[in-house]
């Protein structure tokens, strides 16, 4: 048993390049960073291979920088471009707090929004808003969601004069200092505290 | 007959001092460019090739995207100063076709299905050409893709073989390419044992073809060893 553990630690140090064989599919399951090809499990990235003989799993931890892409579970900042009754289209402009050069298009459906069912999405989200969302899936179309209090609108402009709206006491209410217009948005808990600035 | 230059002498030494099976000296500089996601400067003898990878990013125009996988967009270009005479900077028929050929060779190794509805841009700029730039381009592009962290089935390694003065030689240079009887570029995936590109120009018998193929695979294995060494030196150094 002890001997076995030493072997696993030794394997942890294995440097691999794409295509290198880690084992057969009978020996383990292909996990992150690997792929199956003609009965073999092979590495897909440059990285450190982990061959877990107890759990029967193969995985590769990349040591290169990863491609900029909204992966499932990541937190992103998106700018709303259009809103319909149940669906909003958004341009993802930042992933995990870092701005990206080329944006990705994501979809925000009313069923993925926290709180009570909203019949009309236009009431709580408007075009031009910056929204912090979670990536629900990025296999095919990128689906976004607003699940916890931390997620929601983080910056919104007045529909009448275009100035940035300020949060007033009550939940989800915003007021414009310039024209006194009061609007409703699905706010993130830190609305007005965070500053979003493009580089 | 006397007009034709002798390319291989009696001792089996070629015009640039190499033996029949020798490759030109290869130098690989990873991460050569600052703005690209992955880049490499690949030098093989007088060949100097710059490869850069961007992406995955969203596809415009939208109708070009594929719902189940990423598309590769390869741009192979020769610089105006890459040849002996100035080359017009406008894309030629040859460059457009080679871009397609290289794209097909690379599509078989990149795991495109992990990034649906996106495009991966690959730029191959030939700064100095001395025969065999398409295989050198694929070799460089594979390194740039791996450097950009794009998942791949394997690293492609390329090498050209040809028939010069009736002998099968590896890694032709410019004179051998022009004066020789045949030229056969091959791109090989050493870890999978598969060929992803094979073209031939000129004439060879069946026996010669078989010999050329085995020599090309041997040469590609040598190129692959250099590729792996280059990746190892960069990434093991970074980690420590």
Distance to chain A for B97, nearest Cα, Å: 27
B14 pLDDT more than 70: yes
Determine, for residues A18 and B154 on separate chains, whether the beta-carbon distance falls below 8 Å. Answer: yes
Is residue B1 assigned to a domain?
no
Q: Is it the case that residue A199 has pLDDT exceeding 50? A: no
Q: Mean pLDDT across chain B, nearest whole number?
A: 93
CATH of the domain at B141: 3.30.230.70
* Residue B6 forms part of a structural domain: no
How far apart are alpha carbons B181 and B204 in whole angstroms?
8
Residue A170 confidence (pLDDT) above 90: no
Mean pLDDT within B229-235: 90
CA of B190 vs chain A CAs: smallest distance (Å):
9
Q: Read out DSSP for chain B? A: -TTSPP-B-TTS-BTTS--TTPPPPEEEEET--SSSSEEEEEEETTEEEEEEEEEEEE-SSGGG--SSSPEEEEEEEE-TTSSSSPPPSSPPHHHHHHHHHHHHHHHTTB-GGGSTTEEEEEEEEEEE--S-HHHHHHHHHHHHHHHTT--BS---EEEEEEEETTEEEES--HHHHHHSSEEEEEEEETTTTEEEEE--EE---HHHHHHHHHHHHHHHHHHHHHHHHHHHHHHHHHH-
Q: What is the pLDDT of residue B169?
A: 94
**Could you report the per-residue pLDDT of B179-229, keeping only the tens digit for each?**
989 999 999 999 999 999 999 999 999 999 999 999 999 999 999 999 999
Contact B58 A46 (CB under 8 A): no
Q: What is the mean pLDDT of residues B126-136?
A: 95
Answer for the pair B65, B118: CB distance below 8 angstroms, yes or no: yes
Total residue length of chain A: 199
Residue B31 lies inside a defined structural domain of this protein:
yes
For A5-21, what is each residue's pLDDT tens digit?
444 444 446 889 999 99
**B184: in domain:** yes
- Which residues of chain B make contact with A42, given a CB cutoff of 8 A? 153-154, 191
Decide: B132 and B47 in contact? Cβ < 8 Å.
Answer: yes
A7 and A58 assigned to the same domain: yes
What is this structure's pTM? 0.90
Residue appearing with tokens 């040598």: B222
CA separation for the pair B182, A105 (Å, rounded): 50
- Cβ pairs A/B, distance under 8 A: 87
Run of H or E including A101: strand A98-113
Handedness of CA B151, B153, B154, B157 (dihedral sign): negative
pLDDT score at B235: 85
CA-to-CA distance for A169 and A148, rounded, in angstroms?
A: 20
Contact indicator for A138, A71 with CB cutoff of 8 Å: yes
Average per-residue pLDDT for chain A: 88
pLDDT value at residue A1? 41
* Distance, CA of B220 to CA of B157 (rounded, Å): 5
Q: Does pLDDT of B37 surpass 60?
A: yes
Query: Are A79 and A18 in a shared domain?
Result: no
What separation, in Å, do the N-terminal and C-terminal C-alpha atoms of chain B show?
A: 61
A67 in any annotated domain: no
Instruction: Provide residues of A within 8 Å CB-CB of chain B.
Output: 15, 17-21, 33, 35, 37, 42, 44-46, 62-69, 102-105, 139-141
Question: In this structure, are A88 and A179 located in the same domain?
Answer: yes
Q: What pLDDT shows up at residue B236?
A: 79
On whether both A103 and A7 belong to a single domain, the answer is no
Q: Which of A19, A47, A66 to mutate to test the interface with B (most CBs of B within 10 A)?
A: A19
Report the domain count for chain A.
2
pLDDT at A165: 92
Q: What is the mean pLDDT of residues A168-193?
A: 88
The mean per-residue pLDDT over the stretch B140-161 comes to 95
Residue A84 inside a domain? The answer is yes
Tokens representing A29? 């399951």
Q: Is residue B15 part of a domain?
A: no
Disruptive mutation site among B40, B65, B121, B235 for chain A (greatest number of A CBs within 10 Å): B235
Query: In this structure, is residue B180 part of a structural domain?
Result: yes
Q: How high is the pLDDT of residue B206?
A: 95
Looking at the fold, whether A48 and A82 belong to one and the same domain comes out as no
Asked if residue A3 has pLDDT above 60, the reply is no
Same domain, A86 and A58: no
What was the pLDDT predicted at A5? 47
Q: pLDDT tens digit string along A21-42?
A: 999 999 899 999 999 999 999 9
Our count of domains for chain B comes to 1
ipTM for the whole complex: 0.88
pLDDT of A8: 44
Contact criterion met (CB < 8 Å) for B235 and A102 = no
Task: Give the three-state DSSP class for A192.
Answer: coil
Among A153, A149, A146, which Cα is nearest to A167's? A153
Question: Domain range holding B126?
Answer: 26-235
Q: How many CA atoms lie within 13 A of B113 on its CB side?
A: 6
Q: What is the pLDDT of residue B51?
A: 97
Candidates A15, A16, A18: best to mutate against B (most CBs of B within 10 A) is A18
Share of chain A above pLDDT 70, in %: 92
Q: Are B118 and A69 in contact (CB under 8 A)?
A: yes
Domain boundary among A62, A94, A110: A62
Q: Are A13 and A34 in contact (CB under 8 A)?
A: no
- Worst-scoring range by mean pLDDT, A153-167, B70-84, B225-239? B225-239
Q: Which residues of B touch A20 (CB under 8 A)?
A: 191
Asked whether residue A195 is domain-assigned, the answer is no
Interface touch B155/A67, C-beta < 8 Å: no
Residue A156 lies in a domain: yes
In this prediction, residue A14 carries a pLDDT of 81
Residue A115 and residue A84 share a domain: yes
Nearest to B128 by CA among B187, B47, B193, B74: B47
A55 and A88 together in one domain: no
Q: For residues A79 and A57, state if they share a domain.
A: no
Say if the Cβ atoms of B147 and A64 lie within 8 Å. yes
Q: Whole domain around residue A107: which residue ranges?
A: 75-184
Give a yes or no: residue A133 inside a domain.
yes
Confidence of residue A74 (pLDDT cuts 50, 70, 90): very high
Cβ(A98)–Cβ(A77) below 8 Å:
no
Question: Are A19 and B155 inside 8 Å of each other by CB?
Answer: yes
pLDDT in tens, B161-175: 999 999 999 999 999
pLDDT of res. A198: 61
Q: Crossing angle of helices B133-147/B206-239, nearest 10°?
A: 30
Q: How far does the CA of residue B54 sit from the closest CA of chain A (Å)?
A: 9
Torsion of CA B142, B71, A130, A189, to 10 degrees: -70
- pLDDT-derived band at B3, boundaries 50, 70, 90: low
Query: Which candidate, B80, B123, B82, B117, places its Cα nearest to that of B102?
Result: B123
State the pLDDT at residue A7: 47
Confidence band (pLDDT; 50, 70, 90) for B237?
low
Of the residues A62, A87, A103, the one at which a domain ends? A62
Is residue B238 predicted with pLDDT exceeding 70? no
Say if the Cβ atoms of A42 and B191 lie within 8 Å: yes
Question: Among B133, B132, B106, which residue's Cα sits nearest to residue B49?
Answer: B133
Residue A69 lies in a domain: no
Would B62 be classed as within a structural domain? Answer: yes
- Judge if A97 and A177 occupy the same domain: yes
Asked whether residue A101 falls in the same domain as residue A49, the answer is: no
Which among A15, A20, A64 has CB closest to B149?
Answer: A64
How do residues A111-155 score in pLDDT, each as one tens digit?
Answer: 999 888 888 999 999 999 999 999 999 888 999 999 888 999 999
Same domain, A31 and A79: no
CATH number of the domain that A8 lies in?
Answer: 2.40.50.100
**Is residue A162 in a domain?**
yes
| pLDDT beyond 90 at A196 | no
Task: Write out the DSSP string of A116-161.
Answer: SPPS-GGGT--TT-EEEEEEEE-SSSEEEEE-STT-EEEE-B-TTT
Residue B105 covered by a domain: yes
| Residue A105 placed within a domain | yes
Instruction: Say if residues B170 and B159 touch (Cβ distance below 8 Å).
Output: yes
């Amino acid at each position: 048993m002890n001997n076995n553990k030493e072997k696993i630690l030794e394997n942890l140090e294995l440097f691999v390049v794409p295509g290198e064989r880690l084992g057969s599919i009978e020996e383990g399951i292909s996990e992150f960073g690997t792929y199956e090809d003609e009965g073999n499990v092979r590495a897909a990235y440059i990285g450190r291979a982990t061959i877990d003989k107890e759990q029967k799993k193969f995985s590769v931890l990349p040591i290169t920088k990863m491609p900029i892409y909204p992966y499932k579970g990541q937190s992103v900042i998106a700018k709303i471009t259009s809103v319909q009754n149940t669906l909003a289209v958004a341009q993802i402009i930042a992933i995990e707090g870092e701005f990206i050069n080329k944006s990705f298009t994501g979809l925000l459906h009313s069923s993925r929004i926290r709180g009570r069912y909203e019949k009309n999405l236009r009431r709580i989200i408007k075009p031009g808003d910056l929204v912090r969302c979670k990536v629900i899936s990025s296999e095919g179309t990128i689906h976004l969601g607003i699940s916890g209090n931390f997620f929601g609108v983080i910056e919104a402009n007045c529909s009448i004069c275009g100035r940035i709206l300020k949060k007033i006491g009550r939940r989800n209410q915003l007021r414009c200092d310039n024209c006194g217009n009061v609007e409703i948005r699905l706010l993130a808990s830190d609305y007005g505290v965070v500053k979003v600035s493009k580089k | 007959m006397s007009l034709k230059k002798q390319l291989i002498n009696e001792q089996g030494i070629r015009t640039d001092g190499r033996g029949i099976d020798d490759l030109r000296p290869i130098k690989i500089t990873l991460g050569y460019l600052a703005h690209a996601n992955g880049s490499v400067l690949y030098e093989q003898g007088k060949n100097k090739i710059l490869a850069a990878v961007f992406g995955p990013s969203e596809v415009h125009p939208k109708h070009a995207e594929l719902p189940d996988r990423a598309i590769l967009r390869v741009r192979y270009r020769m610089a105006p100063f890459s040849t002996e005479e100035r080359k017009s900077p406008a894309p030629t028929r040859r460059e457009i076709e080679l871009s397609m050929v290289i794209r097909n060779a690379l599509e078989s190794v990149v795991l495109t299905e992990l990034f649906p509805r996106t495009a991966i841009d690959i730029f191959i700029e030939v700064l100095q050409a001395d025969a065999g730039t398409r295989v050198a381009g694929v070799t460089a592009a594979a390194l740039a893709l791996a450097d950009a962290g794009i998942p791949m089935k394997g690293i492609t390694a390329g090498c050209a073989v040809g028939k010069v003065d009736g002998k099968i030689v590896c890694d032709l240079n410019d004179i051998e390419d022009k004066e020789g009887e045949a030229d056969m570029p091959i791109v090989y995936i050493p870890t999978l044992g598969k060929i992803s590109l094979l073209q031939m120009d000129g004439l060879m018998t069946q026996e010669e073809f078989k010999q050329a193929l085995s020599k090309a695979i041997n040469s590609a294995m040598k190129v692959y060893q250099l590729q792996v060494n280059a990746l190892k030196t960069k990434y093991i150094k970074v980690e420590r």
